[in-house]
Structure formats: C-alpha cells, structure tokens
C-alpha cells in the first residue's frame, strides 16, 4: 500500500483523486486549508465519502505554515501538490497572494519532500502558462511561454522550482498542465457551473467578446487517469505533460449546448473580454499519449451530460 499526500485534496480535482486512490486501496492523507475562495461546505461535501474510509485522513493546514507541514505523517511515499490560489481575474486583483501561495507554497512542499526523502512529486500546473502562444496546438516542447496574468506566471515559477529540486535533490518532479477541467463538483466560479446556474435561473449569461473564444475542456475522469499515470511514471526525473482533450469548444457553442441540455433559451449579456484572458487554449497531447498512455475517453457532450446530472441531483 502506497501512502499519498494530496494537497488541496478537498477541492474539485483533489477530491476525485482521493476517491480514486482509496478505490485502489492506497492510504491517502488530504491536506487542505479550506480557503474561503469558495464555500468550505462545498469542499466538505466533496470529501464526505472519503471521510468514511478507514485509510483516509484529513489534516486541515496551510502549505505556507511550516508547523502544519511538520505535523504530517512520516509514512508518506508520494506527494500530489494541487493546492493553489486559482483563477485569472482574482490573480490580477491580488497578485501578491498568488505569488505567495503558488510559488512559496510550492517551495515549502518541495522542501517537505526533500526533508522526508520523498521521491515522487506531482505538481498541478495549468494551460495558462502558454499565455498568448501563437503556436497551436500548444506543445510542452514549445519555448514560447507568454503568460498574461499573475496566476500563469506563478505556475511557471513553480515549474522552474521543480526543475531545481529535481536537479539538486533527485526528486522526480512531474508537472501536469491541466486544460479547463470540468465535471461533477466543478468549482462554482468556473464557466460551465456558473452558466448552468444562470441559465437554470433564467438570468443573463455573460458572453465575453463575440463568443468565438474557445477552451480545451477536459473531463475530470480523464484528468484523473492522467494524474494516476504520472504518479506511476519513473523513466526520467523531470517532465512536463499536457492533460487536455485536444478539441477546443467555442464559448457560443458551450452556451447554446447548455441551453439545449437544460431546456431553456439562454439570455446573453455581451461584455468585453476580461483582462488577462486568452482567446484560445488547445492542447497537443501527443507526448502524454506516448509516455503516459494518456487517451481522453470522454467527449465534451458526454461530459456535459454527466455534469448536468450531478447538478440536478446535488
């Protein structure tokens, strides 16, 4: 039995990962500070199943707090570091907080791994690091990283820290660049969840720009498969992998499809593009397919059905 530490384990992605690891009979320690970015009650509900499991433990603490980290079990074999300040627009409002949590917090977790002699470190990065890269689809081999918001730059800094610790201390650091993850338990501030709320309530949906901007939406189950594969990867000591769906969907298509599935005509509120947002995200997943065996199996349409079923039942 492997003992995994999952930081941010009560969040959207983290809670799904914890459930999967428990299903495979691994011991899981969830480390989460229940940041008020969104309701802690939502996060507690996310891990309600896990809390009933005998080999799951929840430790409430902060990655910026050394004392909290020192209290973590000494039996941990591997770290999956998902905890972070998320969101593009909030990072423009409070860039210092994003630098502190996403960079210094990752530094603290890498020091934790070094001091505990933990060999495998999986880092949740983001497609945001590519920024205004005109080379689409975006490849991990691209040298063009043009971040356009503090959130993106904080993730690049954290990836570079991982390279340093991999080089100096023989920690295997695997950075996973997630592309717009969606599915049951998605954060309430993210587009699919937010738009579903608004359409269901008959309220206007904000459409930024002309609706042609697009995102490479990736279903949560496929992301979890990619994380699990990365946790088992042992070939090299430092790698970056895209975890996307390789099929961007335009904003106007998303809104129309949600309206059809919910059974209500969306009311559109046209707004200018938000500062710090990019026009398109588009993942090249050939490297992940080759080295991780990553092959997303859930179409966007199937994923939306699953999300809406969960939304109606929550």
* pLDDT band per the 50, 70, 90 thresholds, residue 314: confident
Give the structural domain span for 237.
Answer: 3-178+220-244+283-296
Q: Is residue 199 part of a domain?
A: no
275 inside domain: no
Per-residue three-class SS string for 110-161: HHHHHHHCCCEEEEEEEHHHHECCCCCCECCCCCCCECCCHHHHHHHHHHHH
Position 143 pLDDT exceeds 90: no
Q: Domain with 41 in it: what CATH number?
A: 3.40.50.720
In a domain, 148, yes or no: yes
Identified catalytic residue from 4, 98, 151, 282: 151
Residue 205 is assigned to a structural domain of this protein = no
Contacts within 8 Å (CB) and 24+ apart, 194-197: 195/254, 195/255, 195/258, 195/266, 196/258, 196/262, 196/307, 196/308, 196/311
| Residue 86 within any structural domain of the chain | yes
Q: Give domain status of residue 58, yes or no.
A: yes
Residue 144, pLDDT > 90, answer: no
Extract the tokens encoding 188: 């309430």
Query: Total domain count for the chain?
Result: 1
Average pLDDT (256-276) is 94
Q: How confident is the model at residue 274 (pLDDT cuts 50, 70, 90)?
A: confident
**4 is an active site residue:** no
In a domain, 38, yes or no: yes
Q: What is the DSSP letter of 297?
A: -
User: pTM surpassing 0.75?
Assistant: yes
Does residue 249 lie in a domain region?
no
């Amino acid at each position: 039995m492997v003992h995994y530490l999952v930081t941010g384990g009560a969040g959207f992605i983290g809670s799904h990962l914890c459930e999967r690891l428990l299903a495979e009979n691994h011991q899981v320690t969830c480390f989460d500070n229940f940041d008020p970015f969104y309701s802690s009650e939502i996060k507690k509900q996310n891990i309600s199943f896990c809390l009933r499991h005998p080999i799951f433990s929840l430790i409430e603490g902060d990655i910026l707090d050394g004392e909290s980290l020192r209290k973590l079990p000494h039996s941990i074999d591997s770290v999956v570091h998902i905890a972070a300040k998320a969101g593009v627009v909030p990072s423009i409002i409070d860039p210092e907080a994003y630098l502190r949590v996403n960079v210094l917090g990752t530094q603290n977790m890498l020091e934790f791994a070094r001091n505990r002699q933990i060999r495998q470190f999986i880092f949740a990065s983001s497609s945001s690091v590519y920024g205004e890269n005109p080379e689409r689809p975006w490849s991990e081999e691209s040298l063009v990283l043009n971040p356009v918001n503090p959130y993106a730059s904080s993730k690049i800094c954290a990836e570079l820290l991982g390279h340093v610790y991999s080089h100096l201390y023989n920690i295997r650091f695997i950075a996973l660049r997630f592309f717009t993850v969606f599915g049951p338990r998605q954060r309430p501030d993210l587009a699919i969840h937010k738009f579903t709320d608004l359409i269901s309530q008959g309220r206007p949906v904000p459409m930024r720009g002309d609706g042609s901007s697009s995102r490479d939406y990736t279903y949560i189950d496929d992301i979890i498969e990619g994380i699990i594969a990365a946790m088992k990867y042992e070939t090299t000591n430092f790698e970056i992998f895209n975890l996307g769906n390789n099929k961007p969907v335009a904003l106007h298509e998303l809104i129309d499809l949600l309206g059809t599935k919910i059974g209500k005509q969306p009311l559109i509120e046209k707004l200018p593009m938000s500062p710090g947002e990019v026009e398109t995200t588009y993942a090249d997943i050939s490297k992940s397919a080759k080295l991780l065996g990553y092959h997303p199996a859930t179409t966007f349409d199937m994923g939306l059905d699953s999300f809406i079923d969960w939304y109606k039942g929550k």
